[in-house]
Structure 1
């Protein structure tokens, strides 16, 4: 009986010891570039099996930054630099990769390439049928994003004239890549935009812009993804994760997830 109790006590100690050793990184923040963050997390866990990297549902870049600033999270995943309001938090931002922002269409759309002017004409409502772009007679259904969304801001920076157009009032506004893809997959003639890595896993047609594929090094539209944290928290396993994500060891992981390492 004493031997059984000793064995049970020993096993309990081992379980408690493993529980104490286990660490968790809760990487809150944006959906943009999520395949890259997930891939980095998986690769990091293989090197450090005692550390678990969690990618919770998106609260956007701004939500992740606020969570770190208010000590509700230790580290965040973001798809942009700080805005003027966020700079006062005194946080550190380290970008480590770029993701391409792409336009994608319902698979019933035959068009494979758009010029910048054609994109502006679609989103302003000047062009309302795919027939005017060399496709079949099919009504255009425009899907857009919030004005402050990082994907929208990227397009405004990289596409001449996109920032100045008045987006078609009949367009449907969605709030994430997954929502945009869901609408475009279901609606005949629909066009939307979002990050390349997520779009590649959906049943949509990804368009070229001015003849350039998202895989081309001189593709027009991309934005950074990175990590945000307080300097005082960059210790222990958090420091290990930051160092891995920003190292050359992560470059192939980033490329395989649809991004471009810095």
Structure 2
């Protein structure tokens, strides 16, 4: 009888191990890596998904840029990525597929102490060119303007160059700080008196910064000229059931509602 008892205990123990393995598999993390544009919005979409369905727990980690997403998903190290620029033909040829999610306005924001709430597009261009360098020239305090810019490959800067009057061939002032991510740009402007920067619009920006109206139009105005499209990317070779389930949710009406509540205009595939 003793061997039977031992075998029974082994079976029970093995069952617990199997259950633990299954539970661990259900709790597997599915990170969506990439751009910092729309990160709070996509985190909210992931939270809604995790609360409602899905075997995997979706996460939206800090930015590694659109290029980082392309490298990670294209190199088959990650299943899903997030980008704020169109894929190139070469990237599509590697098997990458994009799924547009939402149009996110590009915002110009300043430090709270600046005291300016609206500028013309010509004034904004002059600030980033360095020809206006003190807020007193724009109705603000006698305070030096601190320009915070992004690298030329940044998606928001690309959209500003394509859509904002005066930006297409604008030479950005050399007397500026280059932020490496959206979060870095926001933090730098928030912490630097006199600072001005740009990035994807989110209602959360208004808590720490002053988001400017440009030519009398706020970022959520349908006629506001500048916006970026946030998309998810994947490769068919690595798209599994968990990735497919989140892609279906991210393009659903429920996800669209979450995105709209955060200032974006949802798109449908």
TM-score by length of 1: 0.92
Equivalences for residues 112-151 of structure 1 within 5 A = 112-151=117-156
- Among candidates 237, 240, 246, match of residue 242 of structure 2: 237
Structure 1's unaligned 5+ residue stretches are: none
1:106–1:186: 8 Å Cα contact kept in structure 2?
A: yes
Give, in whole Å, the separation in 1 of the partners of 2:87 and 2:157: 16
Give, in whole Å, the separation in 2 of the partners of 1:198 and 1:63: 26
Give, in whole Å, the separation in 2 of the partners of 1:176 and 1:245: 24
Q: 1:198 to 1:55 in 2, by over 3 A?
A: farther
Are residues 1:35 and 2:40 paired? yes
Give, in whole Å, the separation in 2 of the partners of 1:28 and 1:108: 34
Are residues 1:195 and 2:200 paired? yes
Give, in whole Å, the separation in 2 of the partners of 1:50 and 1:83: 32
- Among candidates 232, 244, 261, match of residue 256 of structure 1: 261
1:35–1:198: 8 Å Cα contact kept in structure 2?
A: no
For residue 68 of structure 1, report the CA deviation from its aligned partner. Answer: 1.3
Give, in whole Å, the separation in 2 of the partners of 1:202 and 1:67: 33
- Among candidates 41, 61, 81, match of residue 76 of structure 1: 81
Q: 1:123 to 1:20 in 2, by over 3 A?
A: closer
Structure 2's unaligned 5+ residue stretches are: none
Structure 1 outlier segments of 4+, above 4 Å: 1-4, 6-9
Equivalences for residues 17-32 of structure 1 within 5 A = 17-32=22-37
TM-score by length of 2: 0.90
Q: 1:119 to 1:219 in 2, by over 3 A?
A: same
Question: Tell me, what secondary structure is at the counterpart of 1:232?
Answer: coil
